[in-house]
Amino acid sequence: MPTVEQHFAKAEPTVRAIYDAVLAAAAELGPFEEDPKKTSIHLNRRSAFAGVSTRRNALILTVKSRSQLGSSRPHKQEQASANRWHVDIRLTAPAEVDAEVRTWLAHSYAESA
């Protein structure tokens, strides 16, 4: 079974710092669990509200949304069903977990109630 730490074994230290910033933002929303999978880490409330995939020098944060986001920041937006989008945001520094990303994370957290 994969562990959280295994996802960071080949990543630069900045990637772990970005993940820690995402965890801090999620902790402000309420309780959740880290659920490491083979290729990603899910952050679960009742269901997954965020997915994290590590790269060597970046982190891909996936959040759920009721609609496509009107921002240039997401590098991928897929409609998963009639009322759900999966939005991927590429983060390369902890400071990029800013108010906009925190808002998206909060909306996704609320959707996972």
pLDDT of residue 71: 87
In this predicted model, what pLDDT tens digit does every residue of 98-111 receive, in sequence order?
A: 999 999 999 999 99
Structural domain total, the chain? 1
In this predicted model, what pLDDT tens digit does every residue of 80-90 receive, in sequence order?
A: 998 899 999 99
Nearest CA among 98, 4, 95, 94 for reference residue 53: 4
Considering only CA atoms, give the Rg of the chain: 13
Nearest CA among 50, 79, 51 for reference residue 67: 79
Instruction: Give the range of the structural domain holding residue 107, as residue numbers without chain letter.
Output: 5-111
Which one-letter DSSP state was computed for residue 58? Answer: -
pLDDT of residue 16: 98
CATH number of the domain that 77 lies in?
Answer: 3.30.1460
- Residues (pLDDT < 70) of the chain are none
pLDDT of residue 68: 84
pLDDT of residue 38: 96
pLDDT of residue 54: 98
